[in-house]
Structure 1
């Protein structure tokens, strides 16, 4: 059963050429952080272009539960009246974060240095995912966490009454863990330091500075050291959320594999810690160009144009690129299925503990549709069949995972025979307009009976 109500099976049929402008939603990472940092500021933060998917709406509800005033006006602009650093009130009820792994981990970090207690839960997918990677560093601040076996939700977090600053080395590349530690450090005295051996998306550092926190970054022998000065007074901001590159990946990749396509995706965030997919696609020979490159709100953006690319070749994706495209490997594997030769992806064990085991989910679904996939604990390899070469005709399980669902819907748009997924409902967590947007471009999706 889906954590989003009744399952919504869907069929994706071979599409004619895709054409048009794909205005994808706002960036999910920046949307979460806008609400959280707005809630920690003193005064009103205004947010335009917020992603209004279920994940982000769950974070908005959580900020209300902790005492911030969060509203949306008729124009679609969001207003957050914050309570200040350390000003969170104790929630009256359990905080339900739905499917939002980013949301729950960042919120846990944010409250961990405030002397309050909160209990967190989520849907079936979120309840199966590990939280120990966040609760371990929170313990160093003085917080305590009590959850189910394996560090899973539901979980109660007791914030530190007398937090201390922390120096923490990330055991794995994770922007979520890094961000949780930095957000916890806001209400700790002195300096909190996070050291990452491999650079991960840096939206938190950029946005903390924008809200007035003192954050410095230094390359050291141990890795990249991010230092945050604790107990600032954050200043409210006016934020224009760029469009989400992870959501843009789906119309972009669809255009590359559907014959005759030409799709423009405007105002996409091209933060270098997020743009690994587009770099990889270009190396494979994709006809993907950046137009009107500029900077908005401290983030680099551009308009992306993607055209049908029948001559793409499989490549070895550099392992050190994984952190900049970890969410895009599922859709990359779909593109790889239509390239010539093998595409090998290494250093991707993080995919095993996302909304689902994404390596296993994609491998099984691709095999069911005639694609050869080899895999290991930390790698997988797709043997491409060339443009138009994927047989299709199979069923894929979404596993309550929005990116798996969307990836197989894109596969069906270029496969010879239709591809069926068991549940399209999870797509609403991150890309609520996916169906309508892709249909306007030329996709042929059909809901089916159970």
Structure 2
């Protein structure tokens, strides 16, 4: 079968990605692995830095976001080996011993680094920190973590609207029971991390279940933490000693999602994505694709350092429209851009609701996916909190833009495989934020 043309075109400022499938189409074949889970990578670096002793991290994501986390904690006294292999060691400095950095902490493009780290900084008594990031971070809402931290007694200064740069003077905080208005693992994790140095019990209750990587890893490092799944609550008791661990990072299901959708929608495809984390708080993408009729099986299911792992086998199948809403959304919020691509080929009209959170990610993902897929010929209506997509209209290759959002860049690349003609994705280098070798993997499986 003829192969697709897939070319990354570097320039001095930005890279473009050109994808031109042959007129006869191209099937995706093979066994691949995706980078380590980004959420787990961040948390392993952070907890390793504040634990006593050495933490060894196997399978760390070598993307730009974890590098930002490592650089911030190195600036506060942790010793972290070079991030040039996916096996990294961290010499922790112990809970409460973060040093006051001599310069501003720069979190780059990482919202996870920014929000989680604020919980630790706010609880370090008598130390001063300033945090900033790139243009995206400086426009993203931080009040959602600043307000509960202030309820705990934190001293935090920020730009109008709760925007970075943010200044923090660490304090001895008071425990609270915070009822979060949104289901957000970042909000929950920030408060739980602040509770590590806070005397008493700090509790977060959410309206629905968000990913629970922090709770699992905190427990593994020695924190005293309890979870009530019925009330969607997590409680940490301050004062525990954290000790270094061996952390095995599974493949990121958010990265696997691009290949799951590609394998489902590209005729003739048969892919196995090995060693993917299938934590039940993250498998909304599997449930949504199953509802659409995708043929996906979990093989070689096992447990790795407290996280469930499996190989995901996907074959091409005819998809049907579905509705994605409610409690499912927090468990697939990062995968909605690629699910929008799946919806363009599904029979019927797919409705995505309750996803207003996507407007404050690296880009306004609802607006960007609506405009870019429409430019490719898809029938997309933008809703206040989601998208309505009528499938079945052939896509046409054209010039589109990632808006420097890694998930947009990769979603548009998968859409390009189903388009007639050539698609050029501007600012495609954004994919490296979470998937440095995305283009190489795409080239590999399209050659079969």
TM-score range, shorter chain: over 0.9
Segments of structure 2 that go 5 or more residues without pairing to the other structure are 1-10
The answer to whether structure 1 residue 439 and structure 2 residue 446 are counterparts is no
Structure 1: 4+ residue segments shifted above 3 A: 72-76
SS of match in other structure, 1:184:
helix
Segments of structure 1 that go 5 or more residues without pairing to the other structure are 445-450
Partners of 2:133 and 2:152 in 1: CA distance:
25
Q: Which moved more, 1:373-382 or 1:430-439?
A: 373-382
Which residue in 1 is equivalent to 2:147?
Answer: 136
Q: Of 309, 329, 332, which residue of structure 2 is paired with 1:322? A: 329
Q: CA, structure 1 residues 56+74, in 2 after alignment: closer, same or farther (shift >3 Å)?
A: closer
The answer to whether structure 1 residue 194 and structure 2 residue 204 are counterparts is yes
Q: Greater RCO between the two (CA within 8 Å, min separation 6)?
A: 1
Q: Map 1:220-369 onto structure 2 (within 5 A).
A: 223-309=231-317, 311-369=318-376
Which residue in 2 is equivalent to 1:448?
Answer: none
SS of match in other structure, 1:340:
coil
Which residue in 2 is equivalent to 1:20?
Answer: 30
Is the 8 Å Cα contact of residues 12 and 410 (structure 1) preserved in structure 2? no
Is the 8 Å Cα contact of residues 113 and 141 (structure 1) preserved in structure 2? no
The answer to whether structure 1 residue 390 and structure 2 residue 394 are counterparts is yes
Q: Of 84, 95, 98, which residue of structure 1 is paired with 2:105? A: 95
Partners of 2:144 and 2:384 in 1: CA distance:
19
Is the 8 Å Cα contact of residues 133 and 177 (structure 1) preserved in structure 2? yes
State the aligned residue count.
Answer: 434
Alpha-carbon deviation of 1:21?
1.3
Alpha-carbon deviation of 1:144?
2.0
Q: CA, structure 1 residues 443+149, in 2 after alignment: closer, same or farther (shift >3 Å)?
A: farther
Which residue in 1 is equivalent to 2:7?
Answer: none
Is the 8 Å Cα contact of residues 36 and 60 (structure 2) preserved in structure 1? yes
SS of match in other structure, 1:188:
coil
Superposition TM-score, scaled by structure 1 size: 0.93
Q: Of 417, 424, 429, which residue of structure 1 is paired with 2:421? A: 417
Measured on the aligned residues, the alpha-carbon RMSD in Å equals: 1.6
Is the 8 Å Cα contact of residues 142 and 159 (structure 1) preserved in structure 2? no
Partners of 2:107 and 2:180 in 1: CA distance:
24
Superposition TM-score, scaled by structure 2 size: 0.94
Alpha-carbon deviation of 1:219?
4.8
| CA offset digits 1:188-226 (Å, max 9, x no partner) | 111101111100000000100000111111256xx3221
| CA offset digits 1:335-362 (Å, max 9, x no partner) | 1101111111111111111111100000
Which residue in 2 is equivalent to 1:125?
Answer: 136
Alpha-carbon deviation of 1:394?
2.6
Partners of 2:379 and 2:327 in 1: CA distance:
25
